[in-house]
C-alpha cells in the first residue's frame, strides 16, 4: 500500500497567516492527489484534485502543488472558517489511501 505522511500533525496559526501543509507519498503517485477539509462531526469536503486543480466553489486562497512524492496545500491568508483538519489522499493505485491529517488550530 502507498503510505501518505502529512506534516505537521498540528499547526497553530492566526487569521491572515499563510499556511502550508506537506504530504509525502511512499512512492510516486504522479499528480493523483486530492486534499480535503474536515470539521468536527462533518464529512470531508473536497478542496483540490489532481494535485493542483481547485474544486468548484472553493475559495482561491486554497492552492495545491507538487508531483511525484511531495505535495503541498497552501492557504494564502487564513480565515476563521479555515480552522479544521486537512487530509491528503492518493488515488494513483489501489487501495486509495489518506494521510493521517493536519489539524489547523487557533494560535
Partner 1 sequence: EVELVEYGGGLVQPGGSLRLSCAASGFTFSSYAMSWVRQAPGKGPEWVFVISGSGANTYYADSVKGRFTISRDNSKSTLFLQMNSLRVEDTAVYYCAKGSILVDRGYFDLWGRGTLVTVSS
Q: From 70, 68, 2, 1, select the one nearest 30 (Cα to Cα).
A: 68
Using CB under 8 A, pick the residue from 43, 60, 80, 81 that binds partner 1.
43
Q: Is the peptide bond before 8 cis (omega within 30 degrees of 0)?
A: yes
Stretch that binds partner 1, among 21-29, 37-45, 59-67, 68-76 (CB under 8 A): 37-45
Joined together, the cell numbers standing for residue 23 give 504530504
Residue 87 binds to partner 1 (criterion: CB under 8 A): yes
Joined together, the cell numbers standing for residue 25 give 507519498
Residue 40 binds to partner 1 (criterion: CB under 8 A): no
List interacting residues with partner 1 (CB under 8 A): 32, 34, 36, 42-46, 49-50, 55, 87, 89, 91, 94-101
Amino acid at each position: 500500500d502507498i503510505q501518505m505522511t502529512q506534516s505537521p500533525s498540528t499547526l497553530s496559526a492566526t487569521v491572515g497567516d499563510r499556511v502550508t501543509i506537506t504530504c509525502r507519498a511512499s512512492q510516486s503517485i504522479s499528480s493523483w492527489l486530492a486534499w480535503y477539509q474536515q470539521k468536527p462531526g462533518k464529512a470531508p469536503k473536497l478542496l483540490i484534485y489532481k494535485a493542483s486543480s481547485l474544486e468548484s466553489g472553493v475559495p482561491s486562497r486554497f492552492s495545491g502543488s507538487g508531483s511525484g512524492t511531495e505535495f503541498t496545500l497552501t492557504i494564502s491568508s487564513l480565515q476563521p472558517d479555515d480552522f479544521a483538519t486537512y487530509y491528503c489522499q492518493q488515488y494513483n493505485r489501489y487501495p486509495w489511501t489518506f494521510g493521517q491529517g493536519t489539524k489547523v488550530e487557533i494560535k
